[in-house]
Amino acid sequence: MHNTPDTKSKQTILVIDDTPENLSVINALLREFYQVKVSTSGVDGLNVAQMQSQPDLILLDIMMPDIDGYEVCRQLKANPVTENIPVIFLTAKIHMEDEQRGFDVGAVDYIVKPISPPIVLARIQTHLFLKDQRRFLEYQVEQRTREIALIQDVTIYALASLAETRDNETGNHIRRTQNYVRLLAEKLRDHPRFSAQLTTPVIALLYKSAPLHDIGKVGIPDHILLKPGPLTAEEYEIMKKHAQLGANALIEAEKLIGRENNFLQYAREIAMWHHEHWDGSGYPDGLRGEDIPVSARLMALADVYDALISERVYKQAFEHDVAVQTIVDGRGTHFDPDIVDAFLAVKDQFQHIAEQYHDRYTKPK
């Protein structure tokens, strides 16, 4: 049994029919329970449906002189503004093919005239309920998706921070480098060499995965990781293993998932190869040029810039201009020339990121 809500809480039904008598009958039936809007043509009905105060459901006649109900429904469903409004056909067309055509263009129900008031009210109530349920479920899914994304981000940051604090680097190093990587990628997204790879979704994944670039440091002994002076050749070889250790951990994570994962792929590429050099003189695999994944090439420059401007146990911080010149000096040897050119175009923004996430270095006791 219908309860009569107050006017403000009533849902709105739009009735589109070119026959005044039909409109009068439907209005008399619905007005106790719903706010009713009426349109006497398909064109007017389409305009009313797109207004700011949209109807919750549309009752639509098929046979109208300007455009018929099938076309009105098709246009409603093709328009992102109105596509989610349920449409119920009210029509004298009784053939099965007419009913099927109605469902084909997107209607949720099909009621044959002359109408039965209890059936009309029951069908409207059902579809409004289903619409509200769908909205609620969509909201729940959206909230859950956001929650999962937040948990992922926090977990990534926690793991990355663990690796960074092992060698007493400042926690903001990971914030700075991920922002450098995103800035470079956005600058290069329209470049012919990079446009196919640096799409908006990929740039978002690079930003998320960049903090894991040194996750392998957790496997390097403290006496090497925290050594205040130059490393011996033997110690340096051990230190270089952090790239492979980080990649191995991410490979194991991929195995646990049981399928390829874009986020883990980029994280693995960055961890494994961000110390490779454009001329092939880097480590761990001595990759050269285009053989180095773009993700790792971007991180290579971001990581070196941040290392240069940051104070470490073994060095003082360099000024921004000195860091820039060092990057330029590595163009075509250490770094991809086009990535260096992109860096030069946004070097002031690099400095701004460095200042935004600046924190004071504390020497280990």
Would you tell me how many other CB atoms lie within 10 Å of the CB of residue 126?
14
Residue percentage of the chain with pLDDT more than 90? 63
Q: Return the pLDDT at 3.
A: 46
Q: Are 73 and 107 in contact (CB under 8 A)?
A: yes
Residue percentage of the chain with pLDDT more than 70? 90
Q: In the predicted model, what is the mean pLDDT of residues 164-179? A: 74
Please say if the pLDDT value at position 170 is more than 60. Answer: no
Tens digits of residue pLDDT in 250-305: 888 888 877 778 888 999 999 999 999 999 999 999 999 999 999 999 999 999 99
Q: If you average pLDDT over every residue of the chain, what do you get?
A: 88
Of 5-9, 55-59, 222-226, 333-337, where does mean pLDDT reach its minimum? Answer: 5-9
**Which residue did the predictor score with more confidence, 107 or 159?**
107
Q: Return the pLDDT at 309.
A: 94
Residue 323: band (very low, low, confident or very high) from pLDDT cuts 50, 70, 90: very high
**Which residue did the predictor score with more confidence, 292 or 228?**
292
Would you tell me how many other CB atoms lie within 10 Å of the CB of residue 284?
15
Q: List the one residue out of 288, 165, 267, 148 whose CA is nearest residue 217.
A: 165
Q: Return the pLDDT at 166.
A: 59
Tens digits of residue pLDDT in 29-83: 999 999 999 999 999 999 999 998 899 999 999 999 889 999 999 999 999 999 9
Residue 334 is encoded by which pair of tokens? 């250490």
Q: Are 293 and 268 in contact (CB under 8 A)?
A: no
Please say if the pLDDT value at position 358 is more than 80. Answer: yes
**How many angstroms separate the Cα of 267 from the Cα of each of 49, 102, 172, 262, 296?**
47, 49, 18, 9, 9
Q: Return the pLDDT at 364.
A: 46
Q: Return the pLDDT at 161.
A: 66
What class is the 7-138 domain?
Answer: alpha beta
Residue 218: band (very low, low, confident or very high) from pLDDT cuts 50, 70, 90: confident
Please say if the pLDDT value at position 92 is more than 90. Answer: no
> Measured in whole angstroms, how far is the alpha carbon of residue 30 from the centre of its chain?
42
Of 24-33, 117-126, 159-168, 337-346, where does mean pLDDT reach its minimum? Answer: 159-168
Please say if the pLDDT value at position 2 is more than 60. Answer: no
Please say if the pLDDT value at position 363 is more than 60. Answer: no
Tens digits of residue pLDDT in 177-211: 999 999 999 999 999 999 999 999 999 999 999 99
Q: Return the pLDDT at 7.
A: 46
Q: At what angle do helices 200-209 and 294-309 cross, to 10 degrees?
A: 50
The pairs formed by 185-189 with CB atoms below 8 angstroms and a separation of 24 or more are 185/298, 187/342, 187/345, 187/346, 188/338, 188/339, 188/342
Q: Are 296 and 274 in contact (CB under 8 A)?
A: yes
Q: Show me where the domains of the chain are located.
A: 7-138, 167-356
DSSP state of 212: G
Q: Return the pLDDT at 15.
A: 96
**Distance between CA atoms of 132 and 129, rounded to whole angstroms?**
5
Q: According to CATH, what is the number of the domain 167-356?
A: 1.10.3210.10
Of 93-102, 128-137, 148-157, 229-238, where does mean pLDDT reach its minimum? Answer: 148-157
